[in-house]
Amino acid sequence: MTDVDMRIHPSPIPWKDLLLPWRVLAHFYENRQLAWQFMRREVLGRYRGSFLGLLWSFITPLLMLAIYTVVFGFVFQGSYITDGSETRMMFALALFCSLNFFNFFAEAVNRAPHLMLEHPNFITRVVFPLEIFAVAAISAACVHLLISMSLLLAATLATGQGIPLTALYLVPLLLPLMLLSLGITWLLSSAGLFVRDIQALTSPLTTVLMFVSAVFYPLSRVPESFRWLFTLNPVAQLIEQSRRVMIQGQTLDWPIWALLLAVSLVVFHLGYAFFMRTKHLFADRL
């Protein structure tokens, strides 16, 4: 057997090393420096060569906020509160909050099938923890999400509405969002190498997902005959909870949060296990 064969076709990692949480945490703790380096490269490299550089991280969400506010706030007269007490600015802030959460997940889904193709040399030439790329990508996306949420807080203060104390619940709400996105990223980044059609499907699917994830409307407006189906969507629940704590000033619905955390942990572990069990075949798929 040649050295190349040994490198490309190692034995799959045992399931016991993939499904035990402390082993997974220990693995990423050992590779934390690599994850940090690639996350930093992701953040700085996104706008490398542009005149405004990292300022685009602030400009882009502000432009999207303005566009969606005009279209859905004034043209289509959208609202999240049915009693008529919601102002156009309140709607704009709620919409911006919803889009921040959805765009984080959509970015992970759309990029995932291409993720391994962006690093072919690490797959074919060296022994490298390829699972780190997903961690770096999600961490970089989290940086941009935090920037957008900071703009949301600033806009809330600028309008004189004040920031509710319940906004602190955004912190625990980010945990299931990140775990869910990371699990999906591992799953699609691996599957995208074996089924290239996935790369073409993710963009239209995320567009459909946006309209069924309560981004532009509250779940309470969905007809009761279909509402149960919408409530099964974890992204819709995350978005609904983000508006609840940030805009409406209500506490986090802890039973729903616990369920979201459980679902995201399952997706996280399944995505990680699938990636680790299949990554020894990646070199043959490039």
pLDDT score of 240: 95
Size (the chain), residues: 286
Residue 56 lies in a domain: no
Residue 78 lies in a domain: no
Provide, rounded to the nearest whole percent, the portion of the chain with pLDDT above 90.
45
Residue 40 lies in a domain: no
Q: CA 58 → CA 55, 98, 149, 154, distances in Å?
A: 5, 17, 10, 12
Rg of the chain, C-alpha, whole Å:
20
Residue 7 pLDDT level (bands cut at 50, 70, 90): very low
pLDDT score of 286: 76
Over range 61-66, report the average pLDDT: 80
**82 vs 62, which has greater pLDDT?**
62
Residue 84 lies in a domain: no
Residue 266 lies in a domain: yes
CB 213 within 8 A of CB 238: no
Q: Of 32-46, 196-210, 233-247, give the lowest mean pLDDT range.
A: 32-46
DSSP code, position 253: -
- Residue numbers of the domain that contains 268: 94-278
Q: CA 153 → CA 162, 231, 263, distances in Å?
A: 9, 27, 29
Say whether pLDDT at 99 is over 70: yes
Residue 196 lies in a domain: yes
- Shortest CA distance to 99 belongs to which of 60, 44, 138, 130? 60
**223: amino acid identity, one letter:** P
Residue 79 lies in a domain: no
Residue 74 lies in a domain: no
Over range 210-229, report the average pLDDT: 89
Domain count, the chain: 1
Report field, pTM of the whole predicted structure over 0.85: yes
